[in-house]
Each structure stands twice: as C-alpha cells, then as structure tokens.
Amino acid sequence: MQAIKLYNFPRSGHAHRVELMLSLLQLPTELIFVDLAKGEHKQPAYLAINSFGQVPAIDDGGVVLADSNAILVYLAQKYGNGRWLPADPVGAARVQRWLSAAAGPIAFGPAAARLVTVFGAHLNAKEAIARAHNLLKVMDVELGKTAFLAGAEPSIADVSAYSYIAHAPEGNVSLDDYGNVRAWLARVEALPGFVGMPRTIAGLQTSA
C-alpha cells in the first residue's frame, strides 16, 4: 500500500500518538517534518492541510485528516481489524471517555506542564502540575483494576494517553507515587511495534 503521510513535529505528544498508532498497525509511513519553531504550521501551505494550524495531520491516499484523536479513530476503524476500538456500545464509550480525558485533563495537566519546561510556554506551571497529579491519582486507581485504560486489551485510549503521561517528568510531574501507571506504561511499551517519543532533558527528566 502507499505510505501514509504523517505531518509531525518529533517532540509533539499529539503527533507521537499518531506515529505510535501507525507503527502498532505496521502501516508504511512517510514522516513529513513541520517546523513549528519557524512557524511553518501557520503558513498557507500547511493551513491548507489543517486549517487549525496544528500537528499532526495525515494524508492517506488523498484522505486528509487532522486532530490526533480523530486520526486514531480513523486508523483503528480502517486498519485495526476489530482491535483498538471496540464496536460494542460499552466498550466504545469506555474508549471515548479516555479520548476526552486526553483532550481535557491530560492536555491541561501533564501536557501543559511539559509545555512550560520544554517549549517555554507562558502557563501556570504550579496549576498544571496540580492538575496532572489529580489525573494520575485517578488513573492509578483505575489501572489497579484493568491492565489497560478501557479494559483488558489495549485500545486507542492507551495510545492517546501514553505520550504525555510517559513524558510527564519532563514537566516536573513525578510518576514515583503511581505504581499502576508505571506498570501500564511498561505494558504499552512492550506492545509489538511500539515506538517512543524522543525525550528531552527537562524538568525531572535527567537523561534522554
């Protein structure tokens, strides 16, 4: 099949979600670097691909899609062979709950805290770190009941949540108190086809 074009920025957790999903599905991928530092994502050429001016976006044989969670749904439904996104109402709802968490508590917690340390974003780091720990407490309890976020099997819920949780220490968010979360990260990293996001030496992350 023709390679799927992934417009990405290597240190973006949103872009990494899609790169990870493509790798887990063993789909041929062409990575297209979008230079956020130079504002390439706000130029007309890229805005024609994603009018919100954000990474990631994909081009799958002329099907152009943006928004990381939307892309995960698309990839799971088209290429997942019944895995990664349950078809039953309860299973689908459980996955959607965590996709919403990825766009909410994860984005405004660990992701926001990392934006401060890695990218110099003018956000309230203390509030972001507090939100991150509130989220991690919930995740740790829930991951004490199931191996993966939406049940016994991995799904796009795990793919969506993984990147920013795994890299939370870069934003000065320690994972030391969350044994179930750390065990879950290890389970995700053990999946065939796993690919990590480059680490930065920021916050509590002392080695890359």
Instruction: Give tens-digit pLDDT for 118-153.
Output: 887 888 999 999 999 999 999 999 999 999 999 999
Q: Do 71 and 41 lie in a common domain?
A: yes
- 95 in the same domain as 73: no
Query: Is 200 contained in some domain?
Result: no
Q: What is the pLDDT of residue 204?
A: 66
Residue 195 placed within a domain: no
Which pLDDT tens digit goes with each residue over 59-84? Answer: 999 999 999 999 999 999 999 998 99
Name the pTM for this structure: 0.93
Could you tell me which of 56, 1, 2, 54 has the C-alpha nearest to residue 32? Answer: 56
207 — pLDDT class (breaks 50, 70, 90):
low
What's 47's domain CATH number? 3.40.30.10
Does residue 208 lie within any of the structural domains? no
**Whether the predicted pLDDT of 208 surpasses 60:** no
Q: For the residues 167-190, what does the mean pLDDT come to?
A: 97
Are 71 and 10 part of one and the same domain? yes
Residues 118 and 142 in one domain: yes
Query: What is the predicted pLDDT for the residue at 91?
Result: 96
The DSSP string of 102-152 is HHTHHHHTHHHHHHHHHH---S-HHHHHHHHHHHHHHHHHHTTT-SBTTBS
Domain ranges, residue 23: 4-79
| pLDDT for residue 202 is more than 80 | no
Q: Are 118 and 64 in a shared domain?
A: no
Q: Are 178 and 98 found together in one domain?
A: yes
| Domain shared by 73 and 101, yes or no | no
Nearest to 137 by CA among 176, 188, 186: 176
Q: What is the mean predicted confidence (pLDDT) over 12-31?
A: 96
**pLDDT value at position 205?**
65
164 and 96, same domain (yes or no): yes
Q: Looking at the structure, do residues 106 and 184 belong to the same domain, yes or no?
A: yes
- How many domains does the structure of the chain reveal? 2
Percent of the chain scored above 90 by pLDDT? 82
Is 102 among the domain residues?
yes
- Same-domain pairing of 111 and 163: yes
Q: What CA–CA distance (Å, rounded) separates 171 from 159?
A: 20
Q: What is the pLDDT of residue 1?
A: 81
Residue 205 lies in a domain: no
Tell me the pLDDT of the chain averaged across its residues. 93
Asked if 71 and 99 sit in the same domain, the reply is no
Does 199 reside within a domain? no
Same domain as 64, residue 144: no
> Do the domain assignments include residue 198?
no
CB 171 within 8 A of CB 87: no
